[in-house]
A and B are shown apart, each in its own frame.
Chain A
Amino acid sequence: MLKLHDLYKVYRTDDVETVALSGVNLEINQGDFIAVMGPSGCGKSTLLNIIGMLDSPSDGSYCFLDEDVAGYGEAQLSVIRKKNIGFIFQSFNLIDELTVAENIELALLYHDMPAAERTRRVKDVMDRIGIAHRAGHMPGQLSGGQQQRVAVARAIVGDQPLILADEPTGNLDSVHGQEVMDMLRTLHSEGTTIVMVTHSPAHADYAQRTVNLFDGYVVTENTRAA
């Protein structure tokens, strides 16, 4: 599905140059469930942001569905992104001024989809995730677990084939964390490709493959036996 080759990401601020990713090579196939692990500041989130086309690499190539997107501008990336990728963030990133249903609908809003179709899809996904009874609530009225469910619903409502989850359980207690992981497992079983950054070895165990990063390098890749 996607292939990173000799990928670099360097941040420059005035006099300081920070290398976040250093020659990363990674291939992710359709239907994979990959966990990215490593200590704080090792480049996990940067890697995820580049895979998600929220950020661009400084060097190297990034092939997404056989298309090299490394040099693409924001406008082109945005088109690929909205068709193919759903995001789940540690801090949920729900919009406070929108209700649960509207937050989920946001993922469809930029897809030229008729309003009736959007409403139907939002309703379906809320039923599926079990938050339909909270449809009219504002994010501030929900618990952390509920907010992350909404975030998951928003990530999957567009039926994108790839879900990127940046520490999706980082802000949750163990029970709610478990719930989210179960959802991701179900999604994976339904064929969705998932790349997840996590600190938790237990949650990493849900994945088929774990990529360990250290100081911007991929140090090990472990594939779990089926």
Chain B
Amino acid sequence: MFWNNIKIALRNLKKNKLYATINVVGLALGLALYVFASLLADYERTHDMFFRNADRIYTVGTSVLPEANLGIRDIDSAHTALAPLIKAEIADIQLVARSLRREYLVRVDQESFYERVRFVDPEFTEIFDFKFVSGDPSALQDPSSVIISEAFSQKYFGDSDPIGKVVTLDNKHDFHIAAVIEDVPLNSHFNSAILNASVLDIFISFQALSRISDYNPEGEWDNLSVNDLTYVQLPPQLDGDWLQAQATSLFDRHMPEAGKDVFSGFKVRPLKKANLVIWEMLGLPVMTIIKLLGLLVLIVACVNYTNLATAQALGRSREVGMRKTMGASQRQLLTQFLVESITITAIAMLVALAGLEVIIQLFNNATNKILTLSYMSTLPWLVMTTLIVGVSAGAYPAWLITRASPIDALRDVARKTKKGTRFRAVMIGVQFAISVFMLSVVAIMYVQNQKMEDASYVFPRSEIYTLQRLNVEGISERLDTLQTELKNIPGVENVAYSIWTPFDQSNSSTNVSTVPGDSSNKVSLHILRISPEFFDTYDIPLLSGSAPTREMANDMYSEESESINVVVNELALEQLSLGPAHEAINKRFYDLDEDDNLKEFVIKGVVPSQNIVGLHNDIHPFMFYYDPTNHWVASIRIRGNMLSTVASIEKVWKDVIPEYPMQGRFLDETFEEVFKIFRAMNMTLAGFAGLALILALIGLFGLAAFMAAQRTKEIGVRKVLGAGSMQIARLLVWQFTKPVLWALLVALPLAYFASAAYLTFFAERIGSSQAAVIMLGAGVFGVLFAWGTVAGHAIRIAQRNPIQALRYE
């Protein structure tokens, strides 16, 4: 019986090639996307599992107070002072390690590159069981030795043995290579975390950092860098909740008051979450969304199948009648139809898997991932998916066709009474609701992202070339010469220094008040340390007053400064209640933090409130002052040919600072960093939405073809009675229009709420009326596509000779 059912299924496929193709291709697309989305989500969620103690390793990050307005809810790094405290105060924890990532110029013989070097506590190699090719973990005990990866070894030494060779950081700190580890697999947060990824190529004892940069080995509470991670390995009997409680207690007891103004506590996460931490930080459950989108597309594909199968099943009414006459029970017939639907799903699954083999390969090549489709481990899931999809897609048509009495089935009553018509209409509605919902959200995301990008052009981002990493001994003392020489290059309009550039996503702030020591009226002001040319270079207009100069002593910060002239933005004026821009000049406010000599700020100029940190953040109250001790980045404004000017800049750099390679990048690239995540999300969703729409249209086309065939006789009679081709076409198109319009009514409000959730993420949002127009546009787009799909077929049918139509039956 079972084989008989499968045989029938295959013969039916062969007989109705168009519908079979639509069914199999549709289901295969849906299944491929669903399986891919699930594999990807699982892959991303199971990083680092190859470390022996992965399930006992945790990271300790820091939660941010919403009032701090940093644009993120938490950070995966912790203050470097935390780890020594954990070790000292919590006896049950033996293994704690910090990893501080710093960029250095790494030189081996005559070859040098900028590399990200990790400085780690000795427990680092106990927590992570790296595979040592040569040397051993004890190498970390010696502050003058480094451990490198095989890839690093290959890059600098080729096939020769690197052990004992010397590596020099920033041209002056020598280390010898004591061990080589195998490259950490790609599915580790060390390699693939979006925010913090840097291949674990070279790491050195934490002690060494103290030696080369006066870093306090006990760590610090003043600075929290995304590059500073804290790992803890717990003994088997303790868990993350316990660690969280300990961390909270440490926070309460040790976090300085200034820190408590910004942070709400430490946040413990299992190691396997380290890879996806950026989404948690942003508050966007991206992997869950991807899985959900995969499921939605699969539902659209299933609905396609159900719809077409329902229409087709009615054509098999006589067969059902005959089988019932022969004694088949409804259960047996249900089984037969479900086996057919499972067979088709299984074929679609095979097609999907074949497609996935190619897609995964392409995806891995494009994204540097090692996603695999392991049949051994996923087989039960794949089989279950096939069965569930097969049964759920085939259940309704099977039930509809097998419930008729034998005589009704033999007489084909179901078809004559248009059974299942309403169901099909509802299903078309569901498909289009999902498609239009996704399209609308994509459109809104796109317009919002575009708004964010457009707004960033307030800065002349495409005319600025930046030089990074200037805060290095050997470079910083030559910046004046560099600036003078750069300005002499034809095409260079201006050169400004600053601690970071707009959209760098950096944050530095201090608490100030208009009354000295009065913390009841404190305002948290963000600080950007600049050189006098900054405003001109970035086209930031001064609303009143003037920019700092090199000539006035009080314009320039030094470690001894107790008072300094600053430029503030209008928002800072507003929050400090210092009146309008033209009245603010020479007004004063005072620093409440007691970490340096600086006590007083005098307003010298006012600039408009612009979004400097990055556009998903709110616009912050800002102050700018000239600080020659913190020139980390040069911004070079170029007019004319960028490429030839950059070549001249390189030449100047080589003349002025020959010992260090130049690290330059276009400011556009910095801005792109900000946008690429949002663009990638938008593209991903667009891909899902596009596929959902294509599937819905394919389904609609199949159904339109089928319904037109069903109504062939009616069409013939109508034509004989005088109906024109357009009238017939309209008749055929209209039957699909109603459910599509209903779909809009359901989808658009849902899309509105979903988009609102996305929009809340941004400080500057598109207006709700604009959002409504965009969504309506997406809806109209969906309807037009639906019409187009059905109309082409309908017109062809309507133009046929009426006698052909009448002969059909």
A59-67, A102-110, A217-225: which lies at the B interface?
Answer: A102-110
Tell me, yes or no, whether B677 is within 8 Å of chain A by CB: no
Does A75 sit within 8 A of B, measured CB to CB?
yes
Task: Please judge, given known A-B contacts A54-B410, A95-B319, whether A107 and B330 are in contact too, CB under 8 Å.
Answer: no
Residue among A54, A55, A97, A154 making CB contact with B11, cutoff 8 Å: A97
CB < 8 Å neighbour of A107 from B319, B326, B410: B326
Assess A106 versus B326: contact at CB under 8 Å? Given A95-B319, A98-B8.
Answer: yes
Q: Which residue of B lies closest to A46 (CB)?
A: B407
A89 shortest CB reach to chain B, Å: 8
Which stretch in A76-84, A142-150, A174-182, A188-196 binds the other chain? A76-84
Cross-chain contact B325 with A81 (CB below 8 angstroms): yes
Task: Compute how far the CA of A93 lies from the CA of B324 in the bound complex, rounded to whole angstroms.
Answer: 12
Cross-chain contact A78 with B329 (CB below 8 angstroms): yes
Question: Is A74 an interface residue, CB under 8 A from the partner?
Answer: yes
Is A120 located at the chain interface by the 8 A CB criterion? no
For chain B, what secondary structure do more than half of its interface residues adopt (helix, strand, loop), or is it mixed?
helix
Q: Chain B 333-347, CB within 8 Å of chain A: the 1/0 string? A: 000000000000000
| A83 and B122 alpha carbons, distance in the complex (Å) | 84
| A5 interface hit (Cβ, 8 Å) | no
**Contacting residues, chain B, for A102 (C-beta < 8 A):** 4, 7
CB–CB B322/A74 < 8 A: no
Q: Would you call A49 an interface residue if the criterion is a C-beta within 8 Å of the partner chain's C-beta atoms? A: yes
A87 within 8 A of partner (CB): yes
The answer to whether the Cβ of B253 comes within 8 Å of any Cβ in the partner chain is no
CB distance from A110 to the nearest CB of B (A): 4
Question: Judging by beta carbons under 8 Å apart, are B405 and A106 in contact?
Answer: no
Q: Which residues of B contact A154 (CB under 8 A)?
A: 326
- Is the beta-carbon distance between B406 and A82 smaller than 8 angstroms? no
Give the chain A neighbours of B1 by CB distance below 8 A: 109
Interface presence of B722 (CB below 8 A)? no
A137 interface residue, CB < 8 Å from B? no
Decide: A95 and B322 in contact? CB cutoff 8 A.
Answer: yes
Contact across chains for A110 and B326 when beta carbons are under 8 A apart: yes
Task: Mark contacts of B2-33 with chain A using CB atoms, 8 A cut-off: 1 yes-contact digit, 0 otherwise.
Answer: 00100110011001000000000000000000
Interface centre among A79, A81, A109 (most CB of B within 10 A): A109
Q: Are A54 and B326 neighbours in the complex by a CB distance under 8 Å?
A: no
Q: Give how many B residues have a beta carbon under 8 Å from the other chain's beta carbons.
A: 24
Q: Is B162 an interface residue (CB 8 A)?
A: no
* A106-B407 Cα distance, complex, nearest whole Å: 18
B415 interface hit (Cβ, 8 Å): no
Q: A128 an interface residue at 8 Å Cβ cutoff? A: no
List residues of chain B with CB within 8 A of the CB of A82: 326-327
Q: What CA separation (Å) do A55 and B324 show in the bound complex?
A: 12
CB contacts under 8 Å to A, within B746-775, are none
What is the size category of the interface that chain A forms with chain B?
Answer: 20 to 34
Report the minimal beta-carbon distance from A122 to chain B, rounded to whole angstroms: 13
**B-chain residues with CB within 8 Å of residue A94 when the two chains form the complex:** 322
Asked if B332 is at the interface of the complex by the 8 Å CB criterion, the answer is: yes
| Contacting pair A74 B327 (CB below 8 A) | no
Among B7, B322, B407, point to the contact of A55 (Cβ < 8 A). Answer: B407
Determine the distance from Cα of A154 to Cα of B323 in the docked complex, in whole angstroms.
12
Cβ-closest chain A residue relative to B8: A97
On whether A79 and B327 interact (CB within 8 A), knowing A93-B321, A95-B322, A109-B4, the answer reads yes
CB-based nearest B residue for A80:
B327
Q: Which residues from chain A contact B4 at a C-beta distance below 8 Å?
A: 102, 109
Task: Give the chain A neighbours of B469 by CB distance below 8 A.
Answer: none
Query: Which residue of the partner chain B has the closest CB to A107?
Result: B326
Interface centre among B1, B7, B319, B406 (most CB of A within 10 A): B406
How far is the CB of A154 from the nearest CB of chain B, in Å? 8
Q: A54 touching B328 by the CB < 8 A rule?
A: no
> In the assembled complex, how far is the CB of residue A51 from the closest CB belonging to chain B, in whole angstroms?
12
With CB as the reference atom, state the residue of chain B lying closest to A92: B322
Q: How many angstroms between the C-alpha atoms of A110 and B323 in the bound complex?
A: 9
Chain A residues in 8 Å Cβ range of B322: 93-95, 106
Which residue among A52, A79, A110 has the maximum number of chain B CB atoms within 10 Å of its CB? A110
What's the Cα separation between A151 and B796 when bound, in Å?
Answer: 39
A89-130 at interface with B (beta carbon < 8 Å): 89, 93-98, 102, 106-107, 109-111
Which residues from chain B contact A111 at a C-beta distance below 8 Å? 327
Residues in B with CB closer than 8 Å to A110 are: 323, 326-329, 332
Complex CA distance for A92 and B325, rounded to whole angstroms: 13
CA distance in complex: A94, B318 (Å):
9
Q: How far is the CB of A181 from chain B (nearest CB, A)?
A: 22
The closest CB in chain A to the CB of B325 belongs to A87
Task: Report the separation of the CA atoms of residues A84 and B321 in the bound assembly, to the nearest whole angstrom.
Answer: 18
Which residue of the partner chain, among B15, B324, B327, B332, contacts A97 with CB atoms under 8 Å? B15
Question: A49 to nearest B CB, angstroms?
Answer: 5
Least distance between A60 CB and chain B CB atoms (Å): 17
Shortest Cβ gap from B337 to chain A (Å): 13
* B762-797, CB < 8 A from A: none
Whether the pair A49, B326 counts as a contact (CB closer than 8 A) is no
Instruction: Give 1 or 0 for each of A2-37: 1 = CB within 8 Å of chain B CB.
Output: 000000000000000000000000000000000000
Q: Tell me the minimal C-beta distance from B367 to chain A in angstroms.
A: 46
Q: Which residue from chain A places its CB closest to the CB of B1 in the assembled complex?
A: A109
Q: How far is B4's CA from A74's CA once the two chains are assembled, in angstroms?
A: 24
Separation of A109 and B326 alpha carbons in the complex (Å): 8
Q: Taking CB as reference atom, which chain A residue is nearest B329?
A: A78
Q: Are A75 and B405 in contact (CB under 8 A)?
A: no
B5 to chain A, nearest CB (A): 10
Contacts of B405 in A (CB 8 A): 54-55, 74
Q: What's the least CB distance linking A52 to chain B, in Å?
A: 8
CA distance A95 to B321 in the complex (A): 10
Which positions in B face A, CB cutoff 8 Å? 1, 4, 7-8, 11-12, 15, 318-319, 321-330, 332, 405-407, 410
19 other contacts beyond A55-B405, A55-B407, A74-B324, with CB at 8 A cut-off? Answer: A54-B324, A74-B405, A75-B330, A78-B324, A78-B329, A79-B327, A81-B325, A81-B327, A93-B410, A97-B11, A98-B8, A98-B11, A102-B4, A106-B322, A107-B326, A109-B328, A110-B326, A110-B332, A154-B326
Report the 8 A-B pairs with minimum CB-CB distance, sorted nearest first. A82-B327, A97-B11, A110-B327, A54-B407, A55-B407, A54-B406, A110-B328, A93-B322
A-B contact pairs, 16 of them (CB 8 A): A75-B329, A78-B329, A79-B327, A83-B327, A93-B321, A93-B322, A94-B322, A97-B11, A97-B319, A102-B4, A106-B322, A106-B323, A106-B326, A109-B1, A109-B4, A110-B328
